Amino acid sequence: MTEPFVAAVVQMTTTDDRMANRDTAERLVRRAADLGAQVVALPEMWPYIGRTADQAAHAQELDGPLVTGMRALAAELGITLFGGTFAETSAVPGKVHNTGFVAGPDGGLLASYRKIHLFDIDVPGGVTLRESDQFVAGDRAAVVDTAHGRFGLTTCYDLRFPALYEALRVAGATCVLVPSAFTAHTGKDHWEVLLRARAIEQQVYVLAPNQAGWHNAKRQSHGHSMIVDPWGHVVARAADGEGVALAVIEPARVERVRTHLPCGEHRRSFALPE
């Protein structure tokens, strides 16, 4: 069993200023490492939030300069870096993948994940977002082995689909990442509830770095980045605005919770009603 470790979730307000976004992300990752974090996680789409057309115009490959730069930062700081998500080039003209990646403390690329569930919603009096207009959905769940255990990879709207999280637990995940740009409209009622539910259901730690505040005149994210333990307790929460939240992750706690309440052993197949 791996030893306890310190994890940090980064909260920031991404805009259409790519250089400023990169500087903010690097500064906050460094702050987390200075505070003792061995695992650091960035939010969804931290390099750019702006015009739809610009995502495809500035998309990169996994071996492009953005990911390469973050891998170098992970190596410099000696941390495992969950690099949030970025716009990855796709085979569909004008569209991109919403892709997460993981860099090891030696700078190696450990894993990547393309967001499966796309957020297409029109809330009366609220926000209208159609991710399918600019993104191509992924079709494969992902886990990654690190020096600190096996992590499951998800992104934002995936949080509403518990079957994905069950699959990650079955695949051996003891921690799950949820880098997000969860909207303020839905976040105020659903963000914490869903994070705690996924942690309780699958008896995993959930690390949820979120975007916060106004990205532009039309789009606002909820913030409240947090870390939830396998009993559903919120053990770290970011304040308003940009910053980091840290918590000690205890792999032994996952084992204790699963031993005392062995839900995984009680799962049964069943026939659906006609």
List the alpha helices (DSSP H) in 35-139: 52-57, 65-77
Average pLDDT, the chain: 95
The residue annotated as part of the active site, out of 88, 95, 156, 242, is 156
- Looking from the CA of 126 toward its CB, the CA atoms found within 13 Å total 12
Q: E strand or H helix at 237, and its extent?
A: strand 234-237
Those residues with Cβ within 8 angstroms of residue 216's Cβ, 6 or more apart along the chain or in another chain:
15, 16, 49, 50
pLDDT of residue 51: 81
pLDDT of residue 1: 66
Is the CB of residue 149 less than 8 Å from the CB of residue 174? yes
pLDDT of residue 23: 98
Is the CB of residue 246 less than 8 Å from the CB of residue 30? no
Q: How far apart are CA 15 and CA 191, in angstroms?
A: 22
pLDDT of residue 5: 98
Q: How far apart are CA 216 and CA 212, in angstroms?
A: 12
What's the pLDDT tens digit per position in 125-165? 666 778 889 999 999 999 999 999 999 999 999 999 999 99
pLDDT of residue 129: 76
Query: Which parts of the chain sit beneath pLDDT 70?
Result: 1, 123-127
What domains can you pick out in the chain, each with its CATH number?
A: 5-266 (3.60.110.10)
Those residues with Cβ within 8 angstroms of residue 201's Cβ, 6 or more apart along the chain or in another chain:
162, 165, 166, 263
pLDDT of residue 255: 97
44 is known as an active-site residue: yes
Q: How far apart are CA 153 and CA 208, in angstroms?
A: 11
95 is known as an active-site residue: no
115 is known as an active-site residue: yes
The residue annotated as part of the active site, out of 44, 131, 242, 250, is 44
The residue annotated as part of the active site, out of 115, 175, 242, 250, is 115
What's the pLDDT tens digit per position in 172-208? 999 999 999 999 999 999 999 999 999 999 999 999 9
Q: E strand or H helix at 83, and its extent?
A: strand 80-89
Considering just the CA atoms, what is the radius of gyration of the chain in Å?
A: 18
pLDDT of residue 193: 98
